[in-house]
């Protein structure tokens, strides 16, 4: 039996003068397609939205078809047509290809799948059009020669049996193929091999023309019809070969097949019936069995205008499908953007709630309970001390000065109590916010993906110390502000008479003592003493200055609390930011529109 011997070949750039004579550069369209390719290639759709898996695959297929077919065809509109022979398992594709060539160049196998390198047969005059990586650039080129019956390929070279290699393309020059037309034998579209099915889809996407082979028994199978529907949607020229037809039922089957083709928008597709015939000793069909199809292909090869129309029609359909795919990808990207914004809002909501809770605790007197209240009482003596003070700012100042001179002021203990109380409130609410954010994310498929392998809610062991450091820094800022405000000669004398630390503590207490939330004795002790403390500060610095100092101290504190919460929220947001930058929906919509506009002439 004769077959095809494969030998590795060296790729050459396509510079055939006959082919290039009528090339149309279509530079604006090429630029639009290249720009769209880059956008689609960069679109990963990483979030688990409903449309992401399908559109991710769609974008990848579109990029592959741009490389394999669309860009090569736009750059070389007059290149030879590529007719891909496709069909179901056992439909007789290889036997048909042998019959069209006129001698065995490939063979079918009894074992499924019959995995082999795809074989592209072309006229010798068209060799340069396929030797270079113009179409199907990701498939390596291997040159084939016909092996005579009984001849053994040289050592180290594969023969014509099944070869587990779907990453290369065998090129075979044969004068029986019309010039201007090439035939490519593709794997089964319903192969049990995933690689074979993927390769078949890739080759069909690179075709100008489909020769779709089916049989009298299997012409209604679902898998090929799905591909035929896709072909109708892309406006691909299709010729259907109805193989192994009994003469007695040929008319009835062909009529039914024509009806199905009409229903799917493929009414113009010619049907070529190949009668059930015995094969000769080399596995060949009688020449008459495929004569109508061979004549049709020869007429097509001889008619440059007809070839040009088929190429333009198929290319136009592929470009329109590309624009549609780009639009669908843009919609998928928009869904990703909405999901990302939703996840960010969930984090912001959780930590904003924590910020409000912490700030409220600094405004409603919550921090003046417990240890802080006890230390503040130690600082000022007892409630009786303030009740015994006579009205008048001067007397308040004098009695406070005498008090401080008479006893060591335990203001440091008040500072420490404020630090401890505020630290507990911040850490508790931060932990609650992180748990809330994680819970909200785990309710979302995309959030689950982002949290995979992460314990985002866990606070780091040193977080409480980070909070304490931030509070101490705030207290230092308050003390510095007291020092700066007391820089004047008269003010300095008043401040020095009381002590900077004492004034700073009084200001801190004043910041926290708006009395909301305090009841009974707490109001009298904490709230009342805070009011008197404010009066004392006003005696030293003046009312306007104290109000500004209080506002500044509160703003400083809330800013630091906000920073601590942002630090923990960033753990969640970083997982979104790590996805990187991607094309926007607006960019993809614009690319689709540009492709449509520039392709109107096709």
Cβ-Cβ contacts under 8 Å for 193 (sequence gap 6 or more): 113, 115, 187
Return the pLDDT at 316: 93
Measured between alpha carbons, how far is 32 from 27 in angstroms, rounded to an integer? 9
Q: Which domains does the chain have, with CATH numbers?
A: 3-23+79-302 (3.40.50.300), 339-587 (no CATH)
Among residues 71, 97, 599, 83, the alpha carbon closest in space to that of 310 is found at: 83
Measured between alpha carbons, how far is 214 from 236 in angstroms, rounded to an integer? 18
Cβ-Cβ contacts under 8 Å for 523 (sequence gap 6 or more): 515
239-260 mean pLDDT: 89
Return the pLDDT at 483: 81
Q: Is the pLDDT of residue 229 over 80?
A: yes
Tokens representing 297 are 């292909």
Cβ-Cβ contacts under 8 Å for 42 (sequence gap 6 or more): 582, 583
565-572 mean pLDDT: 96
Q: Is the pLDDT of residue 193 over 80?
A: yes
Please answer whether residues 470 and 422 qualify as being in contact, where contact means their C-beta atoms are separated by less than 8 angstroms.
Answer: no
Highest mean pLDDT among 23-27, 107-111, 481-485, 495-499: 481-485
Q: How far is CA 327 from CA 33, 55, 591, in A?
A: 14, 10, 9
pTM of the model: 0.76
Q: Is the pLDDT of residue 516 over 80?
A: no
Name the helix (H) or strand (E) containing 211.
Answer: strand 209-215
Higher pLDDT, 351 or 9: 351
Return the pLDDT at 106: 77
Return the pLDDT at 401: 46
Please answer whether residues 585 and 338 qualify as being in contact, where contact means their C-beta atoms are separated by less than 8 angstroms.
Answer: no
Across the chain, mean pLDDT equals 81
Q: Is the pLDDT of residue 381 over 90?
A: no
Do you find a cis peptide bond into 189, omega within 30 degrees of 0?
no
169 DSSP β-pair partners:
141
Measured between alpha carbons, how far is 493 from 404 in angstroms, rounded to an integer? 15
- Residue 25 exposure: Cα atoms within 13 Å on the Cβ side: 3
Return the pLDDT at 226: 84
Residue-wise pLDDT tens digits, 305-334: 999 999 999 999 999 999 999 999 999 999
Measured between alpha carbons, how far is 395 from 390 in angstroms, rounded to an integer? 7
173 DSSP β-pair partners:
122
């Amino acid at each position: 039996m004769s077959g095809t011997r494969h030998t590795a070949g060296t790729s050459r750039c396509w510079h055939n003068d006959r082919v290039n004579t009528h090339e149309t550069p279509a530079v604006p369209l090429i630029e639009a397609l290249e720009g769209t390719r880059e956008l689609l290639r960069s679109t990963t759709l990483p979030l688990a939205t409903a449309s992401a898996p399908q559109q991710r695959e769609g974008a990848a297929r579109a990029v592959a078809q741009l490389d394999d077919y669309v860009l090569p065809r736009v750059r070389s509109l007059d290149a030879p047509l590529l007719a891909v022979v496709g069909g179901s398992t056992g439909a007789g594709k290889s036997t048909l290809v042998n019959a069209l060539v006129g001698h065995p160049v490939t063979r079918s196998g009894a074992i499924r799948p019959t995995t082999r390198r795809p074989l592209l047969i072309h006229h010798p005059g068209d060799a340069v059009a396929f030797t270079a990586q113009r179409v199907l650039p990701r498939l390596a080129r291997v040159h084939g020669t016909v092996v005579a019956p009984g001849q053994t390929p040289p050592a180290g070279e594969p023969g014509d049996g099944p070869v587990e290699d779907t990453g290369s393309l065998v090129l075979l020059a044969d004068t029986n193929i019309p010039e201007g037309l090439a035939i490519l034998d593709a794997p089964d579209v319903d192969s049990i091999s995933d690689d074979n099915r993927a390769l078949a889809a890739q080759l069909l996407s690179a075709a100008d023309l489909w020769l779709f082979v089916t049989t009298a028994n299997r012409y209604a199978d679902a898998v090929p019809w799905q591909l035929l529907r896709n072909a109708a949607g892309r406006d691909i020229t299709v010729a259907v070969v109805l193989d192994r037809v009994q003469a007695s039922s040929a008319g009835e089957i062909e009529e039914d097949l024509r009806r199905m083709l009409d229903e799917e928008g493929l009414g113009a597709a010619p049907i070529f019936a190949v009668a059930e015939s015995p094969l000769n000793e080399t596995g060949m069909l009688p020449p008459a069995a495929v004569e109508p199809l061979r004549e049709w292909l020869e007429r097509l090869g001889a008619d440059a205008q007809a070839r040009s129309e088929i190429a333009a029609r198929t290319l136009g359909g592929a470009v329109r499908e590309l624009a549609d795919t780009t639009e669908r990808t843009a919609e998928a990207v928009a869904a990703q953007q909405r999901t990302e914004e939703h996840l960010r809002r969930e984090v912001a909501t959780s930590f904003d709630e924590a910020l409000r809770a912490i700030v409220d605790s600094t405004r409603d007197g919550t921090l003046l309970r417990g240890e802080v209240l006890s230390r503040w009482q130690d600082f000022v003596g007892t409630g009786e001390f303030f009740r015994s003070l006579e009205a008048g700012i001067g007397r308040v100042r004098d009695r406070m000065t005498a008090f401080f001179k008479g006893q060591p002021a335990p203001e440091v203990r008040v500072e420490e109590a404020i630090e401890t109380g505020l630290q507990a409130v911040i850490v508790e609410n931060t932990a609650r916010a992180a748990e809330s954010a994680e819970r909200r994310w785990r309710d979302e498929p995309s959030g689950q993906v982002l949290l995979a392998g992460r314990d985002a809610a866990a606070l780091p062991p040193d977080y409480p110390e980070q909070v304490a450091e931030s509070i101490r820094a705030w207290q230092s800022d308050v003390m510095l502000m007291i020092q700066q405000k007391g820089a004047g000669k008269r003010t300095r004398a008043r401040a020095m008479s009381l002590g900077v630390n004492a004034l700073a503590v009084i200001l801190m207490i004043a910041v926290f003592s708006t009395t909301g939330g305090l009841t009974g004795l707490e109001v009298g002790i904490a709230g009342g003493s805070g009011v008197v403390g404010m009066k004392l500060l006003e005696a030293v610095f003046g009312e306007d200055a104290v109000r500004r100092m209080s506002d500044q101290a509160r703003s400083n504190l809330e800013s630091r609390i906000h920073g601590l919460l942002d630090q923990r929220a960033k753990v969640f947001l970083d997982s979104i930011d790590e996805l990187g930058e991607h094309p926007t929906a607006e960019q993809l919509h614009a690319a689709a529109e540009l492709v449509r506009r520039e392709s109107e002439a096709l």
